[in-house]
Structure formats: structure tokens, C-alpha cells
Chains A and B, each alone.
Chain A
């Protein structure tokens, strides 16, 4: 138990960080993290190399997040009316937490595609396959996410 606890404490923060990128709600991210860690402990005997563990964890975490998002039947198309939720509580633009806040304010569909494309390095084809959407939808979601973020960043710049 102590060893498992130690492993959890070493790895959970990274996993939670990854999960937080996919959900606007902190609790959702934590749930995904808990599921990921549980899966890890179950699968641990089958993982041969300790070196492979971080990459495996990240992949598993992303999959957990996507499964949850799919379960919620996130609206991938549409959402033309972008939420313009006022101020992001940041002072410095290059603050990581500020960027995280910005990312999490994105609508679920945009955020997911942006995450997968820009941060996980997926291609549009892979995203389309993962989310069960067309490549065109993936592309349009990405460009809209970028537009939204651009606008928000410009606002920050003005401040």
C-alpha cells in the first residue's frame, strides 16, 4: 500500500495536469485522473518497462478524457456562438496557469480538438477517428478554437 501510495503521489500530478486540459470543471479532471490511476494499478503487472510508464500514462489519461467527452455527446459541430466569458483571472499572459485557464474556457469540442492537435500531436485523420467525426469537422473545430484563443490573447495583450 505504501509503495502504491508513493507511486500515486509521484505520477498523479502529471496525470491530473493532462486531464485538466480537457475539462472546464476541476472535478471532471480529477475523476478522469482517478480512473487513469486505477487503470494503471490494474495494468501495472503488464507494463514491462518503467521507462514506458509516463508515455503510457499520458496516452491512457487522454483516452479516459476522450471517453468521458464522448459519453457526454459533446457537440463537435456548430457552436458558432462562442462563449465570451469575460475576464480570465490572470495578470501575466505567459503565465502557465493563465493559458490553462484560457484553454479550459474553450467550449468542449474546440478544446478537445485543439488539445489533440496542438498538444498531443495528433493528425486530423487521427482526431477524426478518435472522436468519430470527419476530418473536415476536425479542421474547422481547430480553426475556430484558434480564432477564439487568438481573440482572447489579443485582449490580454491590450491589457
Chain B
């Protein structure tokens, strides 16, 4: 089916999506640069450190891809600053706990949701340049998420991470749940925009729900991290997440 032509406002919407993504990629590059340094200081196994360094290179490529795509759809304003990327974690925690918090929050939670969103976009998108860009980014985002799960497993094998359960609501909040569930102006609801990779409210929240239900929560539980506090907090947005699915 041929792609439906876009109105100027819709071009700007898609340009804004990819400009925001470029800002997030800039933030991720800065975060991975800091995390790689901290992981190195901690003396993590080589394979985990290599994955962190590869992530920095990936993000550098992603920034270029996203900037190019935003420009192709008419983005002509100055490049925005990176989204927040400072160190996160319990302020009174030991450095190792803060590192583990950030790896779980950023890689296991945020990057997992990100990978799930991109996987769904790849399924629906038809516009060739967006499809190619999503395909190029998706594979790397999967590895960034996997880095978090690898580090969490490594930490759990060392008997670390017992503090994590009570912090899950903070992590989920930080992953932008409020933004995902925020009512917008309906500009992404037009069905023909799906072919350009835009996610409607229903699709966006559906991906979030499924990624939490099928990946993040069972993943944490698989690694012995108790999720009751996290599930309780999430149930304010998604009642079905209150208890594990059988």
C-alpha cells in the first residue's frame, strides 16, 4: 500500500520525534561513557566492560542517524541539549550500590522498554528511511539492555542487590512512566502515521504494559529481585501488573 502523504504539521511531528530521540541518544552516550569508567574502576569482567564501551560507539552512530532523519523530515531548529544523564541512585548508598541501581534503572528498565518500543515500531513502519534507521538502532538497543541484565546477574552472583526491591518504584518513575501515560493532543492518533513509526497512545501504553509484564518484572524475579513494591506502584497505571501472570 502506498504511503499516505503527510501534512506539514505531521512532518514536523515526525521530525520532533527523531530530534527528541537524538537528544536521548546524546544523553545515553554521556551516561555510557561515565558508566564504562565506573565499571572499569570496579573491575568488572572484561565482557561486560567491552559491552559498555561498544554502547558508547553505538550511541555515537545513533545520534548521527537520528539527526539525519529529523533533518529529512524538516527539522531546522538548533540541536537540543541531551536529556538528563547525571548519576542516579540512593544518595546514601555505597558507590557499588549506586552503580548497580543505575545499571538496573537505565539498562534493565529504560533500555528494555526502549527495545520493545523499537521492535514494535519496526513491525509497523513502512517509510523506508525510518525503517532502515529503526533496524540499525534496534539491534544495538537490545545489547544495551542485555548489558544491564548481564551486570545484574554478575552482581547477584556476588550476593549484591538486596536493596533493590524498595527502589523499584523510583526506577519505574525515572523510566518515564508518567510521560508514557500522559494524555497528549492526539496528534499521533491518525492511523496513517503508524506507517511512519509514530505510536498512538494505545499502542504506546500497550507496549509498555507488555514489556513490563513479559520482560522487566519476570526478569527481575528470575534474578531474585522481589518486585512487590514495584508492582504495587505500577498498578496505579496498569492494574494487571499488580500480580505476576501465570
A and B: interacting chains:
no
Q: Which residues of A contact B (CB under 8 A)?
A: none
